[in-house]
């Protein structure tokens, strides 16, 4: 009985009652009522278009989700009302217009309502569209019939989840997953279009120290500021990512000019090395950059990333705070570094290291007032190893502290054999300086040698300020109490030199050689900077030494600007103690300036086998020296002055040159386009021969081989005969 009552309460009972409840296909009025009731629920709405794709019907109740009058949407083309999210659409998705014209079935397509009132992301409305094309009995297309529902809340949540999966939550930059995917897709597209793409790998120097001394919250704040600075430097032209920790990556499509990339890397390093304000305190870090370029350094994403990683590693090992381009010789850099470190330990133990001394001369009477101690290493097999190669390796370990103590002891011991009014200047690395035991080492050296404290001058660079501020301040105070002098080296090359002068008790400023190199060039501001530095030092009661003066045009200019002390080749290169003592024994401690009338860009002595291309012939020769603007080449006889040559330096580097001097088998050439720095003291061409050009000439599409490129790339007369004689050249 209870069951029957329940059925009747639900409208159940007899078969006749059932027929009354059921809405038949012919009951148009009741069917429309159900449809109206459904549309009012807001679960979804009904829409329809005509054959031209214009919206002819949309459920009236949808107006509440439209933030506007429904009539404004009717009779408009559907593609003008909705659009697919260009940032999150799957690659297989097509624009709505394409799908409508193809008369495809539409299933749960996420679209954004196009409206002037939805300008911000927070006001956007997202809908899910489904629909079927409708045809007449004769097969004529009549339009679409479908359903729609508001998925704004769910879509925003899904998009945020997707964003979190592809973006770094701390900085808002792309994460490693997104950067890898972006690089893969970019390189895949660029291969077909034969386009280039540069990749910069960045690593922050001294970041761990900020984390350890100021806390992780301060470290997070610092990373956010780094991200902001990167965005301000590269802007919209690049994709920037944080790979994790203090590693960042910058992808620059359609850029392969190594001059431009080097300038950009320099700017990034300078900007990221400028002080940060965190919780009312100042934090200072540095940055190193590795650069690779597709397709020259690889055509696949993993190849380009690996190349940039190797370049970054090399930049960090060359002293940090610099950039490095990838080159094939970096592949064994880790193994080479370990061998060099082992040899350096042995060199210190067996006495291979020596100190050489370069004089600092007073310009008024050419008297020597000081010597700077410079470390030299003559390896039994490698020969002379430059400091820029072995000092950074030592700084990676505690070996720098042992080497620094030895250098300090040896320099002070040697200085005791000079006149008492001549000082000794010793370079101190940042790692030495922040060692809490450093003041004790200086105290012990003064006691052991008996040298007067004011004869010892410690040369520091701005990198000493990247450490713990309290430790740095305490060390300065202790050293000044000992009576030693302090000099700020490489002045003007950093961002915050003025603040260092205000806070640190320096006795001397040293003008960096980079300003002297360009001080006589008309389009440079170097002369004005030198004037300003000299004026500043005078106002602060500090001495100033101008470094790197080599020619009389530089000498006359800096003297006219007020330079009282000069250190450079125009007076003397660094000499061993034996030669210094010979000079003293001869009774003279004055040096007359001697050098060329005008400064020429530095030529590096090299022994490098290259190709020389003339017309369609390629000769083998040896490069004997190299500067930004020219080179001396040996191995060809009969080359006339004025001849046009192409130098094949390998790795895709072709340099158009003109012969300016020719004598026997030696020629001097001038480059049509100056070379640029590789960030590590070397020189490279701005641009290279693209592997795509090589592929079109019959060579495989891959990272470039060492050299010897097809003559089809170089033009020339196919029927010409060799015009020059090639001779064998040996090292020596």
Quick: pLDDT tens for 417-427. Answer: 999 999 999 99
CA–CA gap between residue 280 and residue 94 (Å, rounded):
52
- Same domain? 145 vs 207: no
Q: Which of 8-17, 117-126, 153-162 has the highest mean pLDDT?
A: 153-162
Q: Is the pLDDT of residue 695 over 80?
A: no
**CATH code at 397?**
3.20.20.450
CA–CA gap between residue 281 and residue 580 (Å, rounded):
47
Mean pLDDT is lowest, of 53-62, 506-515, 685-694, 707-716, for 707-716
The distance from CA 89 to its chain's CA centroid, rounded to whole angstroms, is 31
Between strands 630-634 and 666-671, the pairing is antiparallel
- Same domain? 343 vs 436: yes
The pLDDT of 332-342, averaged and rounded, is: 76
**Rounded to the nearest 5 degrees, what angle is found at the Cα of 107, between the Cα atoms of 89 and 155?**
45
Residue 594 lies in a domain: no
The pLDDT of 553-582, averaged and rounded, is: 93
- Same domain? 297 vs 341: no
pLDDT band at 672, cuts 50/70/90? very high
More confident residue, 376 or 467: 376
CA–CA gap between residue 418 and residue 368 (Å, rounded):
11
- Same domain? 664 vs 615: yes
Q: What is the mean pLDDT of the chain?
A: 84
Give the model's pLDDT for residue 583: 84
Residue 591 lies in a domain: no
CA–CA gap between residue 636 and residue 618 (Å, rounded):
11
Mean pLDDT is lowest, of 386-390, 489-493, 574-578, 717-721, for 717-721
Give the model's pLDDT for residue 267: 93
Instruction: Flag whether the pTM goes above 0.85.
Output: no
Q: Is 364 helix (H, G, I), strand (E, B) or coil?
A: coil
Give the model's pLDDT for residue 269: 93
Give the model's pLDDT for residue 12: 43
- Same domain? 422 vs 570: yes
- Same domain? 452 vs 570: yes
Give the model's pLDDT for residue 368: 94
pLDDT band at 6, cuts 50/70/90? very low
Residue 98 lies in a domain: yes
- Same domain? 140 vs 171: no
Q: Is the pLDDT of residue 251 over 60?
A: yes
Mean pLDDT is lowest, of 87-96, 150-159, 207-216, for 87-96
Mean pLDDT is lowest, of 62-71, 285-294, 405-414, 416-425, for 62-71
Give the model's pLDDT for residue 90: 43
pLDDT tens track for 363-421: 999 999 999 999 999 888 878 888 877 888 888 788 999 999 999 999 999 999 999 99
The pLDDT of 653-664, averaged and rounded, is: 92
Mean pLDDT is lowest, of 104-118, 446-460, 508-522, 526-540, for 104-118
The pLDDT of 703-722, averaged and rounded, is: 64
Q: Is the pLDDT of residue 230 over 80?
A: yes
- Same domain? 428 vs 401: yes
- Same domain? 253 vs 393: no
Mean pLDDT is lowest, of 548-557, 566-575, 587-596, 638-647, for 587-596
**CATH code at 700?**
2.40.10
Buried b (16+ CB within 10 A) or exposed e, 137-176: eeeeeebbebebbbbeeebeeebeeeeeebbbeebebbbe
Smallest Cα–Cα separation from 434: which of 409, 470, 390, 480? 470
Mean pLDDT is lowest, of 185-199, 317-331, 575-589, 674-688, for 317-331
> Considering 140, 159, 178, which residue would you say is the last residue of a domain?
159
The pLDDT of 201-212, averaged and rounded, is: 86
**CATH code at 146?**
3.30.450.20
Start-end of H helices in 247-300: 258-272
Residue 731 lies in a domain: no
Between strands 323-325 and 286-294, the pairing is parallel
Give the model's pLDDT for residue 124: 79
Percent of the chain with pLDDT over 90: 41
pLDDT band at 450, cuts 50/70/90? very high
The pLDDT of 219-231, averaged and rounded, is: 94
Q: Which of 26-40, 334-348, 462-476, 548-562 has the highest mean pLDDT?
A: 548-562
> Considering 585, 616, 650, which residue would you say is the last residue of a domain?
585
> Considering 552, 585, 618, which residue would you say is the last residue of a domain?
585
Structural domain containing residue 632: 604-726
**CATH code at 239?**
3.30.70.270
- Same domain? 242 vs 299: yes
- Same domain? 556 vs 693: no
- Same domain? 27 vs 67: no
The total of structural domains in the chain comes to 5
Q: Is the pLDDT of residue 8 over 50?
A: no
CA–CA gap between residue 615 and residue 646 (Å, rounded):
9
The pLDDT of 572-590, averaged and rounded, is: 86
Give the model's pLDDT for residue 579: 92
Residue 595: Cβ-neighbour burial (10 angstroms; 0-12, 13-18, 19+): middle
Give the model's pLDDT for residue 119: 55
Residue 472 lies in a domain: yes
Give the model's pLDDT for residue 82: 83
Q: Is 448 helix (H, G, I), strand (E, B) or coil?
A: helix
Are the C-beta atoms of residues 567 and 360 closer than 8 Å to each other?
Answer: yes
Residue 83: Cβ-neighbour burial (10 angstroms; 0-12, 13-18, 19+): middle
pLDDT tens track for 262-272: 999 999 998 99
Residue 527 lies in a domain: yes
Residue 592 lies in a domain: no
Helix (H) / strand (E) containing 252: strand 247-253
Residue 90 lies in a domain: yes
């Amino acid at each position: 009985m209870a069951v029957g009552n329940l059925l009747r309460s639900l409208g159940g009972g007899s078969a006749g009652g059932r027929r009354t409840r059921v809405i038949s296909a012919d009951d148009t009025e009741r069917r429309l009522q159900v449809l109206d009731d459904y549309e009012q629920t807001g679960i979804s709405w009904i829409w329809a278009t005509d054959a031209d794709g214009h919206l002819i019907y949309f459920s009236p109740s949808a107006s509440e989700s439209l933030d506007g009058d429904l009539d404004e949407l009717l009779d408009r083309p559907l593609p003008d009302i909705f659009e697919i999210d260009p940032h999150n659409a799957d690659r297989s998705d097509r624009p709505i217009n394409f799908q409508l014209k193809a008369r495809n079935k539409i299933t749960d397509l996420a679209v954004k309502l196009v409206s002037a009132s939805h300008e911000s992301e927070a006001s956007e409305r997202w809908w899910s569209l489904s629909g079927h094309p409708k045809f007449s009995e004769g097969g004529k297309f009549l339009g679409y019939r479908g359903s729609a529902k508001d998925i704004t809340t769910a879509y925003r949540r899904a998009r945020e989840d997707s964003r979190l999966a592809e973006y770094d939550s701390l900085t808002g930059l792309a994460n490693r997953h997104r950067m890898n995917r972006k690089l893969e897709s970019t390189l895949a597209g660029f291969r077909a279009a034969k386009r280039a793409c540069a990749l910069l790998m960045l690593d922050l120097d001294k970041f761990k120290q900020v984390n350890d001394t100021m806390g992780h919250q301060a470290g997070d704040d610092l990373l956010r500021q780094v991200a902001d600075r990167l965005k301000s430097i590269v802007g919209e032209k690049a994709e920037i990512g944080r790979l994790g920790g203090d590693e960042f990556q910058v992808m620059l499509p359609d850029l392969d000019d190594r001059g431009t990339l080097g300038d950009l890397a320099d700017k990034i390093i300078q900007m990221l090395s400028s002080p940060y304000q965190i919780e009312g305190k100042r934090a200072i870090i540095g940055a190193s950059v590795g650069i690779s370029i597709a397709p020259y350094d690889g055509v696949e994403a993993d190849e380009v990333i690996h190349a940039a990683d190797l370049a970054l590693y090399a930049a960090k090992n060359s002293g940090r705070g610099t950039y490095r381009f990838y080159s094939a010789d970096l592949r064994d850099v880790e193994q080479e570094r370990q061998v060099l470190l082992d040899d350096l330990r042995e060199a210190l133990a067996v006495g291979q290291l020596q100190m050489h001394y370069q004089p600092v001369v007073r310009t008024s009477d050419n008297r020597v007032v000081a010597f700077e101690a410079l470390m030299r290493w003559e390896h039994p097999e490698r020969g002379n190893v430059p400091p820029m190669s072995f000092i950074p390796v030592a700084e990676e370990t505690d070996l720098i502290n042992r080497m620094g103590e030895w250098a300090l002891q040896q320099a002070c011991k040697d200085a005791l054999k000079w006149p008492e009014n001549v000082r000794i200047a010793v370079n101190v690395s940042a790692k030495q300086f922040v060692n809490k035991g450093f003041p004790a080492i200086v105290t012990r050296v003064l006691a052991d040698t008996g040298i007067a404290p004011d004869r010892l001058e410690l040369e520091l660079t701005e990198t000493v300020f990247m450490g713990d501020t309290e430790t740095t301040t305490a060390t300065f105070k202790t050293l000044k109490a000992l009576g030693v002098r302090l000099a700020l080296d490489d002045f003007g090359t950093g961002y915050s030199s003025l603040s260092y002068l205000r806070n640190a008790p320096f006795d001397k400023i040293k003008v960096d050689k980079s300003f002297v190199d360009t001080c006589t060039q008309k389009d440079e501001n170097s002369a004005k900077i030198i004037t300003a530095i000299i004026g500043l030092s005078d106002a602060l009661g500090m001495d100033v030494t101008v470094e790197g003066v080599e020619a009389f045009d530089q000498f006359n200019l800096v003297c006219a600007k007020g330079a009282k002390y000069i250190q450079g080749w125009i007076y003397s290169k660094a000499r061993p103690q034996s030669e210094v003592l010979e000079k003293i024994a001869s009774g003279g401690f004055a040096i007359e300036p001697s050098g060329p009338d005008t400064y020429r860009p530095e030529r590096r002595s090299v022994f490098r086998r290259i190709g020389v291309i003339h017309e369609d012939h390629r000769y083998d020769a040896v490069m004997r020296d190299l500067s930004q603007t020219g080179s001396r080449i040996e191995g060809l006889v009969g080359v006339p002055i004025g001849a046009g040559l192409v130098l094949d330096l390998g790795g895709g580097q072709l340099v158009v040159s003109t012969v300016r001097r020719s004598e026997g088998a030696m020629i001097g050439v001038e480059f049509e386009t100056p070379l640029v720095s590789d960030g590590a003291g070397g020189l490279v061409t701005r641009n290279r021969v693209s592997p795509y050009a090589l592929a079109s000439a019959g060579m495989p599409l891959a990272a470039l081989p060492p050299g010897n490129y097809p003559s089809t790339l170089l033009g020339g007369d196919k029927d010409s005969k060799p015009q020059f004689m090639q001779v064998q050249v040996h090292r020596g």
